[in-house]
Structure 1
Amino acid sequence: MLIYIIILFFLLICCYCENNKAFFYTGIVILFILAILRGEGVDRDYETYISIYGYLINGEPYTIEPTFILAAYISHYLTGSPVLIFFVFALIAIYYKSKFIITFSPYICLSLLIYYSNFYFVHELTQIRIGAASAIGFYAIKYLVKNEQRKFIILVLFSSLFHFSMVILLITLLFDKRKINIYYILTIYCLIIAGYLLIYLNISPLRVLQYIPISVLREKLAIYTYQTENGMIEPVNVTSIMQLVRLCVITFIFANSRKFENNTPMVLLSKLYSLSPVCLVLFSSLPAFAIRVSELYSVADIVVLPILATYCKQARMIRLGIVVLTICILLMNLFHNGIVNGYHF
């Protein structure tokens, strides 16, 4: 675990030299190298991807996104191994997440620290497909801000070729980009309350999804249902520290929503971020599905928190508070949640 802590200290130094692009890009390169050189057993999904690679090159049927299939064949043709799969997905994910940060964040090094403390381990070291997909999808919001809806849709659909779940980002097209009005706020709180009530009544709203005539969706739901019913996945903790933190953050955002009027990036990203705790509660009957969707929307966190700091009178104190929070999250992920194991090549 030592290497993770060393990188943490480097990123803390970057935050001290805030908005120094040389430090920022150095951090990006380090994270990229760490992702592509990791050995077997560092993360939970490495062996799974190796197995899928084996199925594909041996001509066995396996339902997975076309970009992974393409990367598997190219890697096998050029190297005779799956090594290029991890290289390509890490390159795409880290490149587009860096562009997402540069485009929207007022404190790029602080955003890099937030990204590293949570999303990097979940996405770039574990769920590499959703890592690449979410990076492209959230960068695409740049075009929605510019009223270039067609480019946004094309890029989101392209990101779904890396992970099918990214189509849910198209909900952003329904949002009012100018402000967070009272109707949206009430809707979010009603959904959250309804979600907790449904959990108490042991009613799953996900049963409706099984009637949607999309084979990939039905297959994924069937897998998640099987894993849940057979105890292969732990139940969702809908009162976890991260859930409570996100509820507090969206409450703070909603309480100060008037300050963000006409700040299109903040409005759109805050609305996406507010869907994270909602999805965790509403979809909790299928833990894998709930966690995946909730984590996807929470990627907005990378720039939402730094933007929030710019609206506070005590901006330095808020930034310090964010730094302390991210350190706690990192330590919790490493030593309590055990998202990754000790690093080795």
Structure 2
Amino acid sequence: MFLYLSIFICISILSFFPYQKYLLKAIMIFLLLMCAFRSEFVDRDYTNYITLIFESANNLFYPIEISFKVISFIAVNMLGGYYFVFIIFALISIYLKYNIIKKSSPFLLLSVLVYYSNTFLLQDMTQIRAGVAGAIVLYSVLQYAKNKNIMSFVMLIFLASTFHITTLLFFIVLAFDTNVVSRRYIFIYFLTLFGACCCYYAGVNFLTLLRYIPVSYVQYKFSDYISQSQGADFVPVNIFSVTQLLHLLIVILSFIFSRKKILSRDKVLVIKIYSLSPLAFIILSSMPVFALRVSELFAISEIILLPFLPLLFRQKQFAKLAIIGICFIMFYINIYHLEILNEYSAL
């Protein structure tokens, strides 16, 4: 685990250096190579993905998102190697995130550190379909905030759903007021959060509604998540875990930030999307795997959100240290507590 920790420390130190645009490019290229050319022994999902790749490449009707199926077919039958899927997915995901950070973050390497500590480890190094889907979604949200082009946003969300179907939930963005995080929104949010907690303890399962969606792939995924939730390895979620409490702390700080500053539309949307992460986790908690996937997708907005929080304070360097501290907690949970990755090795 020394390599992962060394990278974290290096990015943390470099986040205080000048010439961040050049450092940003160099670090993102390094992370791209690290992600694209990792061996099958690094993460838990790699061998499962190898099976999925060959199944998707050789079975037209295999129940998985179409983009994964097409890329798998090209990799196996035209390029001659399953590992091209991992290279292509890493290239798309990290390139998009590089451009998002470059154009939208006030502190470039602080955004990279937030990305590396959580999204990179959880998605790009593990859940590769969610990694690409999340990158497309975040790009689409920022573009929508800029130009309010609904058709473009809808098309990009549908594109993201061809990598991970849960991104269709991001159509909720169209219902958001992009001008302000109002007191009304904050009140309704905490009221809904309280109601969701009550429903959790009362045993209310909102996911039974999925039974009535007449889409074969949705029914397949629903059955899959049900079987996982009823298996011998099933562990109920802890809605007050350290990660959950950290998400809620960031939501509260973001709401404070939104009331003290006049925000641009992209910041308003990023705050509202991030606020859905802990809420979705509680509402969907009857299916822990599904709850985690959806919560993590909404949380991708932290790449842009967290680096803006230091603007709340006069002592910005101290505030950046606080964000680095939050990043370290996420990094520690992912690497040392959950142990989502093994020691790094390349192909």
Aligned-residue offset at 1:76: 1.4
Paired letter, 2:69: I
Provide, for residues 166-188 of structure 1, a one-character-per-residue CA deviation record: whole Å limited to 9, x for no partner.
11111111110110112211221
Alignment of 1:114-153 (within 5 A): 114-145=114-145, 146-153=147-154
- Residue in 1 that maps onto 2:180: 179
Matches within 5 A, 1:1-345: 1-17=1-17, 20-59=20-59, 61-145=61-145, 146-345=147-346
Deviations 1:77-112 (A, max 9, x none): 333220110010000000111112122210110000
User: Identity, % of aligned pairs?
Assistant: 32
- Whole-Å separation in 1 of the counterparts to 2:9 and 2:197: 39
1:192-214 alpha-carbon deviations (Å, 9 max, x no partner)? 11111112111212112222223
For structure 2, the 5+ residue unaligned runs are none
Conserved in 2, the CA contact under 8 Å of 1:233 and 1:288? no
Q: Distance in 1 between matches of 2:144 and 2:36?
A: 32
Matched AA of 2:203: N
CA contact (8 A) 1:179 1:260 kept: no
TM-score by length of 1: 0.96
Q: 1:19, 1:109 within 8 Å by CA — same for their partners in 2?
A: no
Normalized against structure 2, the TM-score is what?
0.95
Given that 2:225 and 2:289 are in contact with CA atoms closer than 8 Å, whether structure 1 keeps it comes out as yes
Q: Give the superposed CA RMSD.
A: 1.6
Deviation at 1:41, TM superposition (A): 2.0
Cα-to-partner distance string for 1:4-42 (whole Å, 9 max, x where unaligned): 122122212320215611111111011000011111121
Q: 1:179 to 1:57 in 2, by over 3 A?
A: closer
Distance 1:47 1:330, change over 3 A: same
2 CA distance for matches of 1:233 and 1:4?
Answer: 29
Higher alpha-carbon deviation: 105-114 or 222-231:
222-231
Count of equivalent residues: 345
Structure 1 gaps of 5+ residues are none
Whether the aligned pair in 1 keeps the contact of 2:281 and 2:295 (CA below 8 Å) is yes
Tell me the secondary structure at the aligned position of residue 130 of structure 1. helix
